[in-house]
Amino acid sequence: MTRGSPFDELERLLDKMNDARERAGGGLAVDVEDVDGEFVVTADLPGFAKDDIDVEVHERTLRVDARHEEETDADEDNYVRRERSKRSLSRSVTLPEEVDEAAATASFENGVLTVTLPKSHASEESTSVDIE
């Protein structure tokens, strides 16, 4: 029997909670692929702009935060129905292995965020990832 770290069990529990929240429609769904020595994380963020999104990586954890507030110059009294407004989504994903934070890249095209994280060793500080 292989004995894992208590932190591994905690990470599995948090992942299960995030998955349950996604199914309930309350969060940011992501796909994580292990491709040719790197992890590729994809998230759909329709309605967000590149400047609305922050991507941060530290050791095995990728964090994506997206915040958007609908701006309008129109008079509030003219609305019959107004459903578009301030939205925010956030997600932390624990990766199966350490990644090279400095070599991480991100792109955002047609409402889809793609973060590429080459596998590597641990780092002491979080690294912010610019979106191209």
Q: Is the dihedral of CA 14, 15, 16, 20 positive or negative?
A: positive
In angstroms, the CA 10 to CA 13 distance is: 5
Plot region of 37 (φ>0 → left; ψ -120 to 50 → alpha; else → beta): left
| pLDDT of the chain, 132 residues: tens digit per residue | 556 677 778 777 777 776 665 454 457 899 999 999 999 999 999 989 999 999 999 989 999 999 987 766 666 677 777 777 678 899 999 999 999 999 999 999 999 999 999 998 655 667 788 898
List the CATH code of the domain at 30-129.
Answer: 2.60.40.790
pTM attached to this predicted model = 0.70
